[in-house]
Amino acid sequence: MRTYFTTIKYLQETLLALAIVTMMVLPSMIVFSPDIISNNVVTNLYLISHIFLFFVMIIRPLADIFTKTIWIRPLVILRKGAGVMSASIVVSFILAKLMVNPVIYFSSIATLKYWSMVNYAVLAHIADISAVILIITSNNFSKSLFGNSWKTIQKLAYVYFYGSVLYVFLTYGSIYLLVALVLVTITTYIAFIKNSNKKQLLAENTAQNII
């Protein structure tokens, strides 16, 4: 298990480093090398982003459900690295837009069209904003700054996941993302029920001990 934990630690550091490199390199490539960043490349990048996001959303409920499977729980550690890696791709495309014309980008946010359900644009933009907030606050400084509120902010991962997945599914009809959405929803619900039962049982045992 020590080797397993060490591997997870290095993988976490690698994902965080890759995320930083992505945000440093990808925006410039999008703006200055559009021939390299073709539509197929963009599609694959968003696929990678969704794979990491799927891992982030499903690994904790799986760990809560399969408590006796000891190798699953340590993987929860990787949620930070995988989440930052997923968001870094989304944020890179936003940074590219800012590099081209920040005035137009910020002006568009104030328009009704930006928040319209036409072509499900609002789902994509809500997911984008959630990704930005998550990547900004995924550090120890933000954790200390926001205190108990930090965990609440991190729950925007659900907004990021459902907004992004629903947008791609409704727009492009991706069955794979629909399956991902269903799996995450089911496992999260089962984990919630299981954890609620544990808390109730613990409360009852505590009450009996007091009596």
Averages of pLDDT over each 10 residues, the chain, 211 residues = 92 96 96 90 94 97 94 94 96 95 91 88 94 92 90 94 95 93 97 89 68 58
Dist. CA 210–CA 58, nearest whole Å: 37
**pLDDT tens sequence across 129-145:** 999 999 999 888 898 99
Residue 76: DSSP 8-state: G
Cβ atoms of residues 160 and 131 within 8 Å: yes
Compute the half-sphere exposure of residue 169: CA atoms within 13 Å on the CB side of its CA. Answer: 15
**pLDDT tens sequence across 67-111:** 999 999 999 999 999 999 999 999 999 999 999 999 999 999 988
Q: Which residues of 159-169 are buried (b: 16+ CB within 10 A; e: fewer)?
A: bbbbbbbbbbb
Dist. CA 84–CA 56, nearest whole Å: 10
Q: Which two tokens stand for residue 74?
A: 């340590």
Predicted confidence at residue 206, as pLDDT, reads 65
Residues sharing a CB contact under 8 Å with residue 204, sequence separation 6 or more, in sequence order: none
